[in-house]
Structure 1
Amino acid sequence: MTEMLESTKRTERLSVSKPRTRPLVTSLIMFGGIAALVLGIAISVSFGAADIYFTTVWEAIFSYNPELTQHQIIQEIRLPRILGGAMVGASFAVAGAIMQGMTRNPMADSGLLGLNAGAGFALALCFAFFPGMSFNLLILYSFLGAGAGAGLVFGISSLAKGGVTPVRLVLAGAAVSALLLALSEGVALYFRVGQDLAFWYAGGVSGTKWFQLKIMLPWVGGAIIGAMMLSRSITMLSLGEEVAVGLGQRTGLVKLAGTVIVLVLAGSAVAVVGSVGFIGLIIPHVTRFLVGVDYRSIIPCSAILGSLLVVFADLAARMVNAPVETPLGALIALIGVPFFLYLARKERREL
Structure 2
Amino acid sequence: MSAATAPAPPDAAPDAPKPRTRAAVRSGGLVLGLVLLVAAAALSLAVGTKQIPLDQVWSALFGPSGTENDAIVRDLRLPRTLIGAAVGAALGLGGAVMQTLTRNPLADPGLLGVNAGAAAAVVTAISVLGITSFTGYLWFALIGAAVAATAVNALGGGRWATPVRLALAGTAVNAALFGYVNGLQLWHLSTLDEMRYWSVGTLAGRDAALLLKAAPLLVAGALLAFALARPLGAIALGEDHALALGTRVRRVRVLSVVAITLLCGGATALCGPIGFIGLMIPHAARAFCGPDPRWLMPYCAVFAPVLMLVSDVLGRVVVPPSEIEAGTVTAFIGGLLFIHLVRQRKVAQL
Classify the TM-score, shorter chain: 0.7 to 0.9
Relative distance call for 1:137 and 1:273 in structure 2 (3 A) is: closer
Per the TM alignment, residue 132 of structure 1 is displaced from its structure 2 partner at its CA by 4.9
CA offset digits 1:115-148 (Å, max 9, x no partner)? 2122111122223334459867754543442244
Counterpart Cα distance in 2 of 1:342 and 1:157: 31
How many residues align? The count is 320
* Partner in structure 2 of residue 146 of structure 1: 145
* Partner in structure 1 of residue 301 of structure 2: 303
Counterpart Cα distance in 1 of 2:83 and 2:92: 14
Unaligned regions of 5+ residues in structure 1, if any? 1-20
* Partner in structure 2 of residue 181 of structure 1: 178
Relative distance call for 1:156 and 1:218 in structure 2 (3 A) is: closer
Contact preservation (8 Å) 1:107, 1:343: no
CA offset digits 1:271-318 (Å, max 9, x no partner)? 112121111111111111111121111111111111111011111111
Q: CA RMSD in A?
A: 3.1
Structure 1 residue 28 corresponds to structure 2 residue 28:
yes
* Partner in structure 2 of residue 122 of structure 1: 121
Letter in 2 for 1:145: G
* Partner in structure 2 of residue 199 of structure 1: 197
Identify the range of structure 1 (205-214 vs 184-193) with the bigger mean alpha-carbon deviation. Answer: 184-193
Letter in 2 for 1:318: R
CA offset digits 1:139-191 (Å, max 9, x no partner)? 45434422444466677889xxxx9649x938963x65454334224434545
Identify the range of structure 1 (129-138 vs 55-64) with the bigger mean alpha-carbon deviation. Answer: 129-138
Relative distance call for 1:268 and 1:115 in structure 2 (3 A) is: same
Relative distance call for 1:142 and 1:22 in structure 2 (3 A) is: farther
Per the TM alignment, residue 204 of structure 1 is displaced from its structure 2 partner at its CA by 1.2
Q: 1:193-342 counterparts in 2 under 5 A?
A: 193-337=191-335, 339=338
Counterpart Cα distance in 1 of 2:163 and 2:229: 24
Letter in 2 for 1:269: A
CA offset digits 1:228-273 (Å, max 9, x no partner)? 1111011011111111111001111111111101001111011112
Per the TM alignment, residue 30 of structure 1 is displaced from its structure 2 partner at its CA by 2.2
* Partner in structure 1 of residue 103 of structure 2: 104
* Partner in structure 2 of residue 40 of structure 1: 40
* Partner in structure 2 of residue 12 of structure 1: none
Relative distance call for 1:306 and 1:170 in structure 2 (3 A) is: farther
Counterpart Cα distance in 2 of 1:189 and 1:209: 30
Structure 1 residue 55 corresponds to structure 2 residue 46:
no
Relative distance call for 1:40 and 1:201 in structure 2 (3 A) is: same
Instruction: Classify the secondary structure of the residue corresponding to 1:52.
Output: coil
Relative distance call for 1:281 and 1:170 in structure 2 (3 A) is: farther
Unaligned regions of 5+ residues in structure 2, if any? 1-20
Letter in 2 for 1:276: I
Relative distance call for 1:119 and 1:340 in structure 2 (3 A) is: farther
* Partner in structure 1 of residue 167 of structure 2: 169
Q: TM-score, normalised by structure 2?
A: 0.81
Instruction: Classify the secondary structure of the residue corresponding to 1:248.
Output: coil
Relative distance call for 1:139 and 1:236 in structure 2 (3 A) is: farther
Letter in 2 for 1:69: E
Q: Point out the structure with max Rg over C-alpha.
A: 2
Counterpart Cα distance in 2 of 1:151 and 1:238: 22
Contact preservation (8 Å) 1:107, 1:340: no
Counterpart Cα distance in 1 of 2:284 and 2:91: 14
Q: 1:72-83 counterparts in 2 under 5 A?
A: 72-83=71-82
* Partner in structure 2 of residue 84 of structure 1: 83
Instruction: Classify the secondary structure of the residue corresponding to 1:111.
Output: helix
Contact preservation (8 Å) 1:291, 1:297: yes
Identity of aligned residues (%): 33
Letter in 1 for 2:282: P
Letter in 2 for 1:128: S
Letter in 1 for 2:243: V
Letter in 2 for 1:47: V
